[in-house]
Chains A and B, each alone.
Chain A
């Protein structure tokens, strides 16, 4: 398995896109332009991008409350994402869902989720549909370390293994479920260890190494596509910012945060690409500039979009 230069640069671009998107959201939030709450994935970009890079375009994903990165990596359009966060009619959910519910059925994104663990059986069900329809698709299920203690995680993995469903479970272990450290919430040493209980492969990867994630997920996706059943992959990573809008970080130390920032997945990958001669610093700068411009254009689009009309408030409750 080799990654093409094109794919590598795509991964770099997407990680950078996610980083910029999240930082802009943070700014908009602080400027009171975004309502409600949102969970940012700064520091965790490699997991979303590396995992989704291993999928085919029409494969499916389920996402989480911390889902902006998944949506972007899966091909989500920045203008429609910003529009959703600004509650506009042109947003992915017509301004009705907001950050925690961005979904894009067209690109196979079955949705972020406000319920921790809520997406796990849904991914499993999508995989069942693929098996029944024989459409050859694989579903990638993202969830956090906190979610691995919900009953529905265990129930779903058991069923997926039993029925050999084409689903890959990717745990983004960022060391905390809100304020609760992984060690205080989980009796197993690793989430991946739990795979053994459901008779499926479990693998731990460096969640800040985009290529390592790509290769681990690719292996699992290929296996699932061959009809050999699910896998569980645990990507060890770290959330740089607070859990959600308000978080004084009382549950962790500054040193710990700084230590993880040293392992920035984007900076690391940039150095690797230059070292390998895949791109020059100038070429990477050019990509970054392009992304920054796209982000600003997307924000403008969102700001200039219309609000949903109150007359349509009850649209879409039933099919």
Chain B
């Protein structure tokens, strides 16, 4: 085991898959000599060359579609979209093409591709460079959606995503890149569709994704000082969504808070809430299901406004206390 940054673990995962399977290649804007806007692909072009680490023109729709085509024709492309926000430019190729080809063609084609993108606010990048909306992608049949929260998870999940025979949207919160955590030296892969209990507890379940896992864990520490024992569940993949782990936890605690970085209205938290109240966990609920998420506004530039646009540790602490009232 060694302590590694999220960004390093992610790069290692990419590198191992590039070494393991020559069909894997990376394409995106400024991912070569520049190493990617956030530095994820640093050093890879030196090791694998410009044929496999491809700097593209600024053409998100085309590069995503090119990945679809290359995947159908037998390659395993990994696209980097520089900011999650720019995925909107690639929507047709991802949603109307990539996600549907297999089914439309009667199950006769495979589209093994990954689209990675950094999401989230907290860097002062304002409305068009700060959004988190992985939940949107989970709405579309044919796509898988992954949003790892730790260095351990990001490495295991990027490897699984690359090996998966379906298009996978891989959402990386940019504030996570510099977070450290234990990563095993030996090889491992984390299957898509398995939630992880990030902290065991008996009083309240907090279901949180991506950056919110870290904030929920921090909130749990504070609440522990007041004798409140919080269980934190990280779905890790939104699609497939592991409801069983969540339901089991809620049956145990009887109280649940769902925290997401996406704007809360129509967010994935509603899907989780519906899954809970529609299950046997309903009978165990001692309080209404509670949700926290981004405000229904574009992300503002001013740092103080920006901070208020998405849930922070103190908001989670307060919401948990409200649940126990």
What residues of chain A have their CB less than 8 Å away from a CB belonging to chain B? 35-37, 87-88, 93, 95-98, 100-101, 113-118, 146-147, 149-151, 177-180, 184-186, 250-251, 307-308, 310, 313-314, 317
- Please, how many angstroms separate the alpha-carbon atoms of A238 and B245 in the complex? 56
CB pair A178 B295 closer than 8 Å = no
Contact A177 B129 (CB under 8 A): no
Q: Which 8 A-B pairs have the closest CB atoms?
A: A36-B124, A114-B128, A98-B301, A35-B124, A179-B34, A87-B302, A149-B57, A95-B302
A-B contact pairs, 17 of them (CB 8 A): A36-B124, A95-B305, A96-B298, A96-B301, A96-B302, A97-B126, A101-B126, A114-B126, A118-B128, A149-B57, A151-B62, A179-B30, A179-B33, A179-B34, A250-B34, A308-B304, A313-B308
Give the residues in chain B near A151, CB-CB below 8 Å: 59, 61-62
Q: State the CA gap A87–B32 with chains docked (Å).
A: 34
Residues from chain A with Cβ under 8 Å of B127 in the complex? 96-97, 101, 114
| Interface check B12, CB cutoff 8 A | no
Does B262 count as interface, using CB distance less than 8 angstroms?
no
B85, B89, B300: the one contacting A313 at CB < 8 Å is B300
* Cβ–Cβ contact B126 & A100, under 8 A: yes
A185 to B85, CA, bound (A): 22
Interface residue? B296 (CB, 8 A): yes
> What DSSP secondary structure best describes chain A's contact surface?
loop
In the bound assembly, the distance between CA atoms of A308 and B129 in angstroms comes to: 21
**Once the chains are docked, how many angstroms separate the CA of A88 from the CA of B59?**
34
Residue numbers in B under 8 Å from A100 (CB-CB): 125-126, 128-129
Q: In the docked arrangement, what's the CA distance between A118 and B58, Å? A: 12
When the two chains form their complex, are residues A146 and B57 in contact, meaning their CB atoms are under 8 A apart? yes
Nearest B residue to A250, CB-CB: B33
Bound together, the chains give a CA A146 to CA B56 distance in angstroms of 10
Query: In the complex where A36-B123, A179-B30, A180-B29 touch, is A87 in contact with B55 (Cβ < 8 A)?
Result: no
Identify 11 new A-B residue pairs, CB closer than 8 A, beyond the known A95-B302, A150-B89: A35-B303, A36-B125, A87-B305, A96-B298, A114-B128, A115-B85, A150-B58, A185-B57, A313-B295, A314-B295, A314-B297
Give Cα distance in the complex from A180 to B57, angstroms.
8
Asked if A251 and B33 make an inter-chain contact with CB atoms under 8 angstroms apart, the answer reads: yes
Are A178 and B29 touching (Cβ within 8 A)? yes
For B37, list chain A residues within 8 Å (CB). Answer: 178
Given contacts A178-B30, A314-B297, A317-B296, contact A37 B125 (CB under 8 A): yes
For the complex, what is the distance from the CA of A88 to the CA of B302, rounded to whole Å? 7
Interface size class of B (residues with CB under 8 A): 35 or more
Q: What residues on B are CB-neighbors of A93 within 8 Å?
A: 301
Q: Are A149 and B297 in touch, CB under 8 angstroms?
A: no
The closest CB in chain B to the CB of A85 belongs to B301
| Residue in B closest to A315 when the chains form the complex, CB atoms | B297
Residue B214 is within 8 A (CB to CB) of chain A in the complex: no
Closest to A117 in B: B58
* Cα–Cα, bound, A113→B85 (Å): 13
Fill in one digit per residue for B109-133: 1 if any A CB lies within 8 Å of its CB, else 0: 0000000000000011111110000
Residues of chain B contacted by A317 (CB below 8 angstroms): 296-298
**Least distance between B39 CB and chain A CB atoms (Å):** 9
Give the Cβ gap from B271 to chain A, nearest Cβ, in Å. 24
Q: Which of B1-44 contact A (CB under 8 A)?
A: 29-30, 32-34, 37
Q: A36-B126, A100-B126 are in contact. Are A149 and B59 (CB under 8 A)?
A: yes
* A35 neighbours in B (Cβ, 8 Å): 124, 301-303
Contact A313 B303 (CB under 8 A): no
Task: Tell me the smallest distance from the CB of B122 to a CB of chain A, in Å.
Answer: 10
Q: Is the CB of B309 within 8 A of A115?
A: no
Contact B61 A310 (CB under 8 A): no
Q: How far is the CA of A59 from the CA of B127 in the complex (A)?
A: 27
Contact with A along B56-84 (1 / 0, CB 8 A): 01111110000000000000000000000
> In the complex, what residues of A have CB within 8 A of residue B300's CB?
95-96, 308, 313
Q: Report the Cα distance A98→B295, complex, angstroms.
A: 19
A253 to chain B, nearest CB (A): 13
Q: Tell whether B284 is near chain A: CB-to-CB under 8 Å.
A: no
* Docked CA distance A186–B125 (Å): 28
CB contacts (< 8 Å) of B305 on chain A: these are 87, 95-96, 308, 310, 313
Cβ of B282 under 8 Å from chain A:
no
**Chain A contacts of B302 at CB under 8 A?**
35, 87-88, 95-96, 307-308
How far is it, in angstroms, between the C-alpha of A179 and the C-alpha of B39 when the chains are bound? 13
Within residues 269 to 325 of chain B, which ones have a CB less than 8 A from any CB in chain A?
295-298, 300-305, 308-309
- Across-interface contacts of B126 in A (CB, < 8 A): 36, 96-98, 100-101, 114
* A135→B303 CA distance, assembly (Å): 40
Tell me the nearest residue of chain B to A308, going by C-beta. Answer: B302
Given A36-B125, A179-B33, A317-B296, check contact A115 B303 (CB 8 Å).
no
- CB contacts (< 8 Å) of A146 on chain B: these are 57-58
Give min CB distance, A114 to chain B, whole Å.
3
Chain B residues, CB < 8 A from A184? 55
